[in-house]
Amino acid sequence: MATWRRDGRLTGSQRLLCAGLSGVLSLSLTAPLELATVLAQVGVVRGRGRGPWAAGLGVWRAEGPRALWKGNTVACLRLFPYSAVQLTAYRKFVVLFMDDLGHISQWSAIMAGSLAGMVSTIVTYPSDLIKTRLIVQNVLEPSYRGILHAFSTVYQQEGFLALYRGVSLTVLGALPFSAGSLLVYMNLEKIWNGPRDRFSLLQNFANICLAAAVTQTLSFPCDTVKRKMQAQSPFLPRGGGVDVHFSGATDCFRQIVKAHGVLGLWNGLAANLLKIVPYFGVMFGTFEFCKRICLYHNGYIVSPLSYKLTPGVDQSLKPQELRELKKFFKTGKLNSRKPTL
């Protein structure tokens, strides 16, 4: 059994800020690989070469180096509402799956995380569709002049439901995602030949990268179909650049297999896997650094460059409680608080 815990020394806004900043940096660093992944999934041809490097080089030569970061702005803006919804949904699902003692099994924790990710993805799905549209368009001959113009154009030309085209694949993709997470978790002790509670930071980082590689590989066909459905539009040049014609999700699966074989469902997987290590490396490195700054600001550690604890500070106190205690030692007065049950 595992107990759901979080660092109570940070406020909710601080946790969200740390997650948002780390996400923005990791997304921006790996944006060219994300672009190569989406182009391969949609089927947009960029030159005769194959592979992520050829796709990126083709975009660079045809549209300039800035084009490698197409869609990154909307992806970064999407992070903050996505993280907020995901965190809120995760708390609700964890409480739902907890037993009377406040414990939750690992399978339930994985399910809670998967369901929370599904909810946050559905809520912010229109921004993901806009990101795909911005990536596949040519910046020298754009169909959309920016994020807001893309939203309004899709809404006016194709209707509100077009902003959720392919959302059903999000639900379908959650099943292999959860199965992959459980598969990795159940074999961690065999992989490292030791108990989970003694894993080092490097081992935990490797576990996260391994889980991401397995889950993304298993759910990649659903993501490929979703990207094609997002990009396809009769109002765009060449129908959005999609390499197959289809009438729905099931037909899209069938047309991909017919045109490219079963492995066509995994087009772009190489670029997607290449970004895992730098993505999570930058994310967790930035998150830990931001966390240290917040802990130093709250008074729990002596320096933002280390985790050395401040002498005499009760680390179990929450930020507001610690501030009240410091104020009491300075003034001798505590702010009156309403009693709680």
At residue 145, the pLDDT reads: 92
Section 72-93 average pLDDT: 90
* CATH code of the domain containing 321: 1.50.40.10
**Which residue spans within 66-205 are E strands per DSSP?**
103-104
DSSP string across 257-315: HHHH-GGGGGTTHHHHHHTHHHHHHHHHHHHHHHHHHHHHHHTSBS-TTS-PBPTT--T
HSE-up of 59 (CA within 13 Å, CB side)?
Answer: 28
In a domain, 3, yes or no: no
Local confidence band at 204 (pLDDT 50, 70, 90 cut-offs): confident
The total number of structural domains in the chain stands at 1
In a domain, 2, yes or no: no
Range of the domain at 16: 12-336
In a domain, 76, yes or no: yes
HSE-up of 118 (CA within 13 Å, CB side)?
Answer: 19
In a domain, 6, yes or no: no
pTM, two decimals, is 0.85
In a domain, 284, yes or no: yes
Q: Which residues pair with 301 in a beta bridge?
A: 309
Query: Which of residues 55 and 82 earns the better pLDDT score?
Result: 82
In a domain, 4, yes or no: no
Query: 122-126, 128-132, 239-243 — which is least confidently predicted?
Result: 239-243
Q: Which residue has the tokens 């993709």?
A: 173
CB 123 within 8 A of CB 78: no
In a domain, 250, yes or no: yes
Report which listed range, 113-127, 150-164, 183-197, 305-319, is most confident. 150-164
